Amino acid sequence: MKKRDLDALYRAFGNLVRLRRRQRPKPLSQDELGRLVGLSRTSIVNIEKGRHHLVIHHLLAFARALKVSPDALLPKWTSCRAQKRRRARSRR
């Protein structure tokens, strides 16, 4: 997988984490989510921006903390590719 594709994947994952965190009946702050998954608020910020690549067990911790299934946090491959195309067009 190319670096650009990986970057798009992690950005899409981060967007889903942010969306799910905010959509809860009582939204979680980044600090609260960090405490639930055992990471710092700074790590949550970086994950939501797609800058921090996490290990697979964190996916399960995020799903548990956000009360969603793990697949609810996994972006569809097509959305990652579409995001990549939009960025490429904006650079022109």
pLDDT in tens, 44-84: 999 999 999 888 899 999 999 999 999 999 988 665 555 55
Which residue pairs, CB below 8 angstroms and at least 24 apart, start in 39-47? Answer: 44/17, 47/10, 47/13, 47/14, 47/17
Residue 33 is assigned to a structural domain of this protein: yes
Asked if residue 72 is part of any domain, the answer here is yes
CATH of the domain at 25: 1.10.260.40
List the domain range (segments joined by +) for residue 61.
3-85
CA Rg value for the chain: 13
Number of domains in the chain: 1
Please return the burial class of 12, using the count of CB atoms within 10 Å of its CB with bins 0-12, 13-18 and 19+. Answer: buried
- Between helices 77-91 and 3-23, what is the axis angle to 10°? 110
pLDDT of 1 > 80? The answer is no
- Span 23-52, pLDDT tens digits: 999 999 999 999 999 999 999 999 999 999
